[in-house]
Structure 1
Amino acid sequence: MTFMPLPWQSSTMPVPSPTQPVFRFAPSPNGLLHLGHALSAIINHDMAAAMGGRFLLRIEDIDRARCRPEFEAAIFEDLAWLGLSWEQPVRRQSDHLGLYAAALERLREMGLVYPSVMSRGEIKAAVAAAEARGQAWPRDPDGTPRYPGRERDLSASEQAALVAGGRPHAWRLDVAKAVGHLAAPLAWCEAGADPAGETGLIAADPAAWGDVILSRSDAPSSYHLSVVVDDALQGITHVVRGRDLYHATSIHRLLQQLLDLPEPVYHHHRLVLGADGRKLSKSNGDTGIAAFRAAGRSPSDLRALVLGTT
């Protein structure tokens, strides 16, 4: 399979005006939206309005095991209650799996991906064994041990045999090799602030992540791969999101460069933290927009709370 022309590269498709900013809010329907989501949605919506731009809603529903239609319906209800409006139709990632497969195939043809079969248990055991020998195991910016890369240097026939054997596998990006394809160092334009408050041109460090997953046997695309393809397809000019994704921008810039995708401006905003100082999470059942509404609070109350104007 060859890499298909993407819609924004076709002369038959409408091309957004280069002077019109385009923002997006892209939640996953795997739980109820919490107050951190409200902050991000409001910031995107308000920035688009202030700049005379467009505000899009994208549903990131690739993980079919966790995403549910009732959560998607709740997203629409919560955002409408907040007084936000967005363009139609809403883009759902599950409707565009072929595009992510095409992007992965392009990277495969460039020799930049490899199949990995180590389970989480095997990775944990390898890390524990190395640390027991006194070796410091490298970790990514989120603190997760980097993948050992055991299959990276196998021959093409050996890698094909792994896949043909039927063992669950993931496709990983050979980040060191990918960086070697670049003609110049990577950077991005940061219009928000990093955790230390820095803005402007930020040097990217994709190698800090090790060999990230781009696709798994049970998931046709990873967040990293699908988000850069979607942002390009939708003509997103400003990616506004929480600081928890600040370091992931290095991988996104690498993928954009490899796939010849346009580079948006990035704006990483502060997070809404819980009483214990950690970021809010759906999986932890943190206070959601729906619960706030059920308690009799108004949209203006919530806006004032998350924007820090109370």
Structure 2
Amino acid sequence: MEYRKLGKSDLELSTITYGAFAIGGTMWGGNEKQNSIDAIHASLDHGISTIDTAPFYGFGLSEELIGEAIKGKDRSKIQILNKFGLVWDGSNHGKGEHFFDAEDNGKTLPIYKYAAKENVIKELEESLKRLGTDYIDLLQLHWPDASTPIEETMEALEILIGQGKIRAAGVSNYNLDQMKTANETTALSSNQLAYSMLNRGIADDIIPYAIDNEIAIIAYSPLERGLLTGKYFKDATLKANDHRNGYFGQFDAEKVKGFLAAIQPIADEKNASLSQLVLRWTTLQPGITIVLAGARNASQAIDNAKAMEITFKRDEIDFINEQLNKISL
């Protein structure tokens, strides 16, 4: 495994980071507890020392599973990246921005973006309890909240850094202007953004700014939630309450299928899976610091870690990029 420095912070994170959205179950058709814990253990055993989660992932369940999985382990060797700012339990008292409605055990819950100072501190304390730890390595605003000044949210993060409850401050899903404002208020360590072979829009403006200002980019959905593994073009199926039933519809399935067929020989030559090839390619893109990869069992976690063993020749990278440019999604 390779480890990379997160922006100007003192944090060193595993280049492949365990993404814990799916193990929360919500929007992913449920989860299996022991498989989830096994996936975390396998990740740690194979060099993936960094775990990214959020309170919204399973309405606290993802955090609780992580807390159970790391109990008794050397916390100093594990980096926890967490988030705040999505509220579902009414504790925002009608404040913030309504985002969407989510389903939880047959109930519909309105989700709000809410990043006021008091909520940042409140959510952090709740997360610490669920995770069974006394600090978070990187705390990130999950989604921009237009109802709260960016400066107020960043001030809360500065307070938590001063208290030693978090080691670094980050954001997620911020556009360029929002990044600039946040970086003027605090020492912004990172921005977590959607980035994949099929979604490279941030390369035009956000990545150059991040490079110039030593801000890390944490790439989420590098496999487009499983689409780029190729298995959904074969015999894999999704449960009815899996959000990917709608999510995959934004892509031209035939173009994606053709692209994966074109790069399959490279994966075969390296005795690698398509998902490993895609993950490794993503880690090598300019400005991309950390790449999130989910795993719902130990086998998937080990495969993710082994993606870092892949080496590319220059002509292989050029071929992959040429194929990507052809599909122009």
Query: Does TM-score exceed 0.5, indicating one fold?
Result: no
TM-score (norm 2): 0.32
TM-score (norm 1): 0.33
Q: Mark the structure with the bigger radius of gyration.
A: 1
Bigger fraction of residues in strand: 2
Bigger fraction of residues in helix: 2
